[in-house]
A and B are shown apart, each in its own frame.
Chain A
């Protein structure tokens, strides 16, 4: 079998998320994952290189030749034209990646810490506290997230603010929306894990609650996080854009934000001015598409029922050995899927 004991290093490498997923993927699934990774890569590189890629500043209205002018159609100087406010569209789209990345990082980090901790404690101890937290989390979860984000952004910043104030306000607004999601997922995993034999066996041994939670439960419930991470990252961008579109985002002079630009482009459309809305909008779609493709693929590949497999050449492959009689000397293999071919509960159920 391919997975032998000798190459531990390889197996650790294989176990890393994304890499392991990529190796498992086949056909269309691999295509979608690759597409997602490429788009996400372009997005991240653009954010990192924004100062070199963008010809102008995000709040720049004039250069040595004077004002850029308002609603200038695409031309050689402003390849994607200028906005109604007189900014260069191309530059603002490029700079917008930085804002998006900052908001994703802050929002997801904050919500992961709060959500994971709450979910772990609530799910592990159960009882009244757990029930109350579940009802609260469910109530927030069922609430239109955009509305919650708007209310939060008013609370935090009064609606408008500077670069970091704005990013932080947007990020915290999004965090409040996401905490219940992380809470639900981690709590569900914890509750499931709590009845698993290995947690019970730790309990029987007499391990303390903290030891069981962090050594046994937490590490095992982390495996769903890459998936939620990607799905939430794309949702963070959409929420940020939604806030910006409604006028509760970041001031144009503080940072470039696609949702704000679309808000300003709303009236342009009626008069047939397409470049002010098309490019920032397409940027949002492009980035969300990329990240969601990665997340979706992770989801599919993590679920054995949804994962596709290559078909094989007839009568190929090595015979598996069974652990009959000579138990001690038999090669290790029980983790191999082949063993479960004979099991009736579904051979792909690892």
Chain B
């Protein structure tokens, strides 16, 4: 290195003055606002769709109590609940109620739907959270390993494994694991979120959150904490592996895709190691589409949660949903389905924001 002056050409015209930066930051803000506003039509469409679908079969009271009451009694109850009014009026009223957080009252057990949602929502949230942890721990590193060894034996076996995870219905995976670990080996409990004793202790806790592990920690009883965690192992792995299979496939395809890009070749030409190319150069840009797709997997995760909860009698929204479906209690079903839709819409929003924050092209 000899010369320490500017070696050539005129300096290029400047960019990135303070003013310009401000403008770009407001760009991010605008993106956030627009993306947030997009949630509203999504939820609106889903609420409308669910409402219309549920009502094409008739009013909820006839559906639930049809065979059990006489025609007169039925008509009386229908009129009392306002289900004899025009559908459109009922729809507007339902919309208004939802905005105020009132999802109606269940027909089969006469509880406020919003209360049902709060109680069982916590359980589903807990399960989904555990499952996501399993999915991240298993799916993402294995996906990167598969990409690193692409087309070799390791890659092929990891991919077949991922497809197996995906191809196994969660309830079958759950049944198998119950059979092996609970029935044959007797290591883990078969059903539920906690043993009866722990359950009683937790229920007695004042202002409980509903997320058992948090409640157990607050209770401070190590036995209860252990009991709660042990009960979560099988459901979390069952649901987590399904999602892990999808993550693995996603990470692998995206990392391989970015590995063939020019900037990876450019880094390679500077002597950067192959491992670092995967770990740094390919992974982070690949993360942006991965995160977006992960958002869409939340829907799958919740669908899987319904099946997992039924398999393990994990008393969450999914388990409850099936109970209400069998009782033909459509007020409750409608409430649960709409809540799940809102959760999915909001998660997708959060996921898009995270993706935007990772990508400097959006950030600046």
Contacts and interface: CB of A to CB of B under 8 A. Distances in A.
Interface in A271-305: 271-272, 274, 277-278, 281, 284-285, 288-289, 292-293, 296, 303, 305
A144 B302 contact: yes
A154 interface: yes
B57 A346 contact: no
Contacts of B49: 139-140
Nearest to B191: A270
A150 B307 CA distance: 12
29 contacts: A31-B156, A32-B160, A135-B38, A135-B42, A135-B45, A136-B45, A138-B42, A139-B46, A142-B344, A143-B344, A144-B302, A144-B340, A146-B306, A155-B57, A159-B325, A234-B167, A238-B169, A241-B169, A266-B311, A270-B191, A277-B172, A281-B169, A281-B172, A281-B176, A285-B172, A288-B167, A293-B160, A305-B257, A308-B151
In the complex, which range does the number of interface residues on chain A fall in?
35 or more
B211 interface: no
Given A144-B302, A155-B57, A242 B307 contact: yes
A24 to B, nearest CB: 13
Interface stretch (B112-120, B177-185, B213-221): B177-185
B154 to A, nearest CB: 10
Contacts of A348: 260
A281 B163 contact: no
Interface of B is mostly: helix
Interface of A: 27-29, 31-32, 135-136, 138-147, 150-152, 154-155, 158-159, 234, 238, 241-242, 245-248, 259, 262, 265-266, 269-272, 274, 277-278, 281, 284-285, 288-289, 292-293, 296, 303, 305-306, 308, 344, 346, 348
A238 B168 CA distance: 8
Interface in B312-349: 321-322, 325-326, 333, 337, 340-341, 344-345, 348
A265 to B, nearest CB: 7
Contacts, number: 167
Contact of A245 (B155, B310, B326, B337): B310
Nearest to A138: B42
Contact of A32 (B54, B156, B168): B156
B300 to A, nearest CB: 7
B45 A146 contact: no
B57 A154 contact: yes
Contact of A266 (B156, B175, B256): B175
A269 B260 contact: no
Given A140-B46, A241-B169, A245-B169, 19 more contacts: A139-B42, A139-B45, A139-B46, A142-B299, A142-B341, A143-B341, A144-B340, A145-B300, A152-B53, A154-B57, A154-B325, A262-B169, A262-B171, A262-B172, A269-B190, A278-B179, A281-B168, A303-B257, A305-B257
In the complex, which range does the number of interface residues on chain B fall in?
35 or more
Interface of A is mostly: helix
Contacts of A151: 50, 53-54, 333, 337
B175 A150 contact: no
A158 B58 CA distance: 11
B176 A142 contact: no
Nearest to B333: A151
Contact of B307 (A27, A146, A292): A146
A28 B53 contact: no
B362 interface: no
Contacts of B345: 139, 142
A306 B257 contact: yes
A284 B253 contact: no
